[in-house]
Each structure stands twice: as C-alpha cells, then as structure tokens.
Amino acid sequence: MHVPVLFDEVMQALQPRSGGRYLDCTLGGGGHTEGILNASAPDGRVLATDADADAIARVSERLRDALNNRLTLQQAWLDEAPAVAQSLGFVPLDGILVDLGLSSDQLASAERGFSFMRDGPLDMRFNRVQGEPAWALIEHMDVQSLTKVLREYGEVRNARRVAEAIWQARPIMTTGRLRDVVAGVARTRSDRIHPATQVFQALRIAVNDELRRLKEGLPKLIEILRPGGRIAVITFHSLEDRIVKETFRRESRDEVAQPGFGMGEARPARLRLVNKQPIRPSAAEVARNPRARSAKLRVAERVMGERGEG
C-alpha cells in the first residue's frame, strides 16, 4: 500500500478537529484521508477526490466503515474538486490537502503503464477512460513538441536527440519498448537514475495535463476555504513547487488597483503563508520511504480578504 509522505507534518499543518470539514483532492491509497478522519473524530468529515477510479474503489473498500457517514469519495480532477465540493454543499472548508504525483499502487500496476520497471501498455492516464494514453500522445506530437515536453517537464539531457529517437521508433505501444529506445540514446545527470525515469515523468505530466490543472485548481481551492482554514500542498517536481510558491505568494499580497490602467478593483490578500520555506521530509523519513526524497510541503491559511482579519 502507498505510504503517505510527510504524514505528521500534514496533520500538524491542517490540525483536523472534530466537527471540521476537509477536502483531500488526491486520495491515492487514502493514508492522509484516514489520518484526517482519525484526528477529527468523532464527527469531522472528509470529501476525498482522485482522477483515478481504481484509487476510489480500493479506498472505499478499505475505509468502508467511515463511508457515507463521515467520508465521501468521488472521482474528479484536481481542478474540478472545488466544483464537486460546492455541488455537495461541502463548503466552506477547514482544510484542503493536495499530494501530487503518483501513488505506489499506480506504479506497481503494470497495466497502468507508469513504470519502466514493469512491461505494460504505455498508458499513464490517471483517469483511464478520458483523454489520450501516452502512446497516442507520442503518435500525434511532432518532434519539436516532444522535445519541449522532455526538456521542460523531465529536464531530459539531449532532449532533442531522445525525442528524435522516440519519434523514429513510433509506434511505441509498451513501457518496455519506450525504456529500450530511451536507454539506447539518453544520458542522465546521475549514474543512479535510469535515463527513462525523466522521460516517463515528463510524458506522465503531459498526458494528465498536470501543471495546468494545478495552476487553475489552486485559486479555486483557496476560494472555498473558510477564514482560518488551511491548504497544504505536497509537490515532487520543481515546476509544480514553483506554481504553488507563486500562487501562494501572489494570494498573500494585497493587489492595489492602478487607476487608468484598467486593473479593476483592488484585491486584498486571501492567504497568509504559514511557512515561508517549504517543509522537507526528515532524513529518517527518507530512509524509511525513499519516495519522500523530493517532497516539498507548502502551507497557507485563508484570511478574511482584509489584511489582519480572519
């Protein structure tokens, strides 16, 4: 099962309490959701969403006792979760968690196509019935776009050469085939990392449109927090962390209207930063769970909309 990352730090950040209302937008194996349910007993409630129907099915079995009573599960993308919460009347919220990336369950399942260690169809969709799988994306992209995806999302060295090799080898229908094509041309920054790691990461981000969803989702999530409510976001990729950092910074500054520049109304800050630097896992956690290695947690608190209030 997926081991939740920065578990104690997330609980410390959200401080779940009885009677509280929480949204977990990335249910995964349900470890954080379960922690929030326990910490907010006896009557705190959690709405947990995930794009992956398998995650929802697995957790609805595992946390059966809490279902209907204190836990609601629904399949949704991150940027759709605020609308789901609103349609269920589950607003305003006391706490929101976003824990991005892949779960160990997804990685372990060959048929999902996320892992180059297991041969399976080159799919990589979080939602298996929506959008294009990775093999189809490669099929429809030109070399230039593929180079851009590898360079920007994967920081792949010699991105152009790798993209050309992938393009030449099309159709690439399986994870094993992609791994072999990449291994033939790519170099990595470190001997310990297989060159396919970054290529797989880049394609996954593109397939699921992950950066756009994060950028568009965050302001909507902030909107449904009650004053004093907190949002905690765990990222595993520098581009994701930059989006969180910039959104939190922007939302924690008062925007001043500039007469004559068509800027519209002044917008008071909606957030207060709880930690200025991201929280990193301890050495002990990384030793226990190497997946935590690159995790960064940022936390912010909703304020009234006027500086000092809330």
Ligand X SMILES: C[S@@+](CC[C@H](N)C(=O)[O-])C[C@H]1O[C@@H](n2cnc3c(N)ncnc32)[C@H](O)[C@@H]1O
CA distance 120 to 152: 25
Nearest CA among 232, 231, 233 for reference residue 223: 231
Residue 204: strand, helix, or coil: helix
30 contributes a contact to ligand X by CB under 6 A: yes
Q: Which stretch in 51-59, 179-187, 258-266, 270-278 sits in contact with ligand X by CB under 6 A?
A: 51-59
What is the contact mask toward ligand X in residues 88 to 127, using x (rule: CB under 6 A)?
-----------xxxxx----------------------x-
CA 79 to chain centre: 11
Q: Does 248 bind ligand X (CB under 6 A)?
A: no
Closer CB to ligand X, 78 or 203, in the complex: 78
Which C-beta is closer to ligand X: that of 126 or that of 147?
126
Cβ atoms 41, 176 nearer than 8 A: no
- Number of residues engaging ligand X in binding (CB under 6 A): 22
Q: Cα separation of 300 and 229, whole Å?
A: 9
Q: Is 73 in the site for ligand X (CB under 6 A)?
A: no
Using CB under 6 A, pick the residue from 77, 116, 153, 200 that binds ligand X.
77
Cis omega before residue 259 (within 30°)? no
The size of the chain, in residues, is: 310
Q: Does 29 bind ligand X (CB under 6 A)?
A: yes
Identity of the residue, 241 or 303, whose beta carbon is nearer to ligand X in the bound complex:
241
Residue with Cβ nearer ligand X (33 or 147): 33
From the CB of residue 264, how many other CB atoms can be counted at a distance below 10 Å?
9
Residues 8-27 that bind ligand X (CB under 6 A): 26
- CA distance to 215, 217, 257, 270, 309, per residue, from 263 (Å): 21, 23, 6, 18, 24
197 touches ligand X (CB under 6 A): no
Is 51 a binding residue for ligand X by CB under 6 A? The answer is yes
Rounded Cα distance, 18 and 71, in Å? 13
CB of 71 to ligand X, least distance (A): 14
- Tokens (6 digits) for 71: 């836990």
Q: Token pair 């399986």 is at which residue? A: 174
Tokens linked to 40 = 């907010």
To the nearest whole angstrom, how small is the minimum distance from the Cβ of residue 4 to ligand X?
A: 3
The number of beta carbons lying within 10 Å of the beta carbon of residue 124 is 26
Within 10 angstroms of residue 167's Cβ, the number of other Cβ atoms is 17
**Out of 31, 44, 154, 229, which residue is the one contacting ligand X (CB under 6 A)?**
31
Taking CB atoms, the residue at the shortest distance from ligand X is 28
User: Among residues 219 and 228, whose Cβ is nearest to ligand X?
Assistant: 219
The minimum distance between CB 32 and ligand X, in angstroms, equals 4
Q: Does residue 28 belong to the site contacting ligand X (CB under 6 A)? A: yes
Site string for ligand X, 201-220 (x = CB under 6 A): ---------x--x-------
Distances (CA, A) of 293 to 36, 234, 279, 285: 23, 12, 12, 8
Q: Residue numbers of the site for ligand X (CB under 6 A)?
A: 2, 4, 26, 28-32, 50-52, 55, 77-78, 99-103, 126, 210, 213
